[in-house]
Structure 1
Amino acid sequence: MRAVIQRVSEAACKVNGEITGVIEQGFLVLLGIEDADTDEDLVWLAQKIANMRVFGDENDLMNKSLADIDGRILLISQFTLFAQTKKGNRPSFIRAAKVDKAIPLYNKMILELEKLTGKKTETGIFGADMKVSLVNDGPVTIMIDSKNKE
């Protein structure tokens, strides 16, 4: 499971012109799920996201978490995080989980993040043509792969 976490001052997702999720200060999380992912990967990654300390403290050091700043999460499914680009110019997405595996894990991630943060996780719509807008604060962008735990 891979996540690209962007610290944002605001972010939103629209599908067919309708807003499906919107946040102010917090994280825009792009989530990629692969066939090899398990519930263990999901719990580990959710804990990393919820506890990530990248918000500025009184000394402008990255010491505060989402809870410390009363931040929110906008979670967007992103199968292209598993693009393989070694051969040719057209990416292969063979490692990305198929819908029957990805949707249940995506839904579990929403619930796990809500449990950890105590707040509703805003979302896009899985598999939809989403238009995501954000103001990256910093900019701060962090990539995490659950297969690189050690």
Structure 2
Amino acid sequence: MRALLQRVTHGSVSVGGKVIGETGPGLVILACAMQGDTAENVAATAKKIVNLRIFKDDDGRMNRSLLDTNGGALIISQFTLAADTSRGNRPGFSAAAPPDVGEPLYDLLCETIANYGVSVGKGQFGGDMQVSLTNDGPVTIMVEK
């Protein structure tokens, strides 16, 4: 599973002009289930995300995790993270899991992160979404498990 983490002060996602998910300080997570991913990949990704020390401590150093800060998460399905740009000018997305596999893995990621006690907002799998965020830092990190 691939996940692009963005440390934010606020994030929201809208569909059809209506906000369907949001978070305050924490992470906006763009997530993509890849071909061959399993529940074990999801568990490892979730554990890495909630424990990654990318939030500032009292000395201004990135030394605190999402769990340490009681931050929230807005998790957006993003199959384009699987883009293969190695040939030509049109990206290929065949490395992404098909929707019938990807959607349950996305839902499992949201559930697993919530089970750590993190407040989770969600996007709409396969939806035409508009995502707004205020990147804090900026801090943007790719996780792949």
Q: TM-score, normalised by structure 2?
A: 0.97
Aligned to 2:42: 42
Cα displacement string for residues 31-74 of structure 1 (whole angstroms, at most 9, x for unaligned residues): 01112111111100000001111111111111111122221000
CA offsets 1:79-136 (integer angstroms, 9 cap, x no match): 00001111111111111111110011111111100111x1331011000010001110
User: Are the structure 2 counterparts of residues 119 and 144 from structure 1 closer, same or farther at C-alpha, using a change threshold of 3 Å?
Assistant: closer
The reply to whether residue 130 of structure 1 matches residue 129 of structure 2 is: yes
- Give runs of aligned pairs for residues 46-125 of structure 1, distance below 5 A: 46-116=46-116, 118-125=117-124
Structure 1 unpaired stretches of 5+: none
| Percentage of identical aligned residues | 44
**Separation in 2 of the partners of 1:88 and 1:123?**
33
Paired residues, number: 145
CA contact (8 A) 2:32 2:79 kept: yes
Task: Output the TM-score relative to the length of structure 1.
Answer: 0.94
Distance of 1:30 and 1:124 partners within structure 2: 10
| Structure 2 unmatched ranges of 5 or more | none
Query: 2:67·2:118 contact (CA, 8 Å) conserved in 1?
Result: no
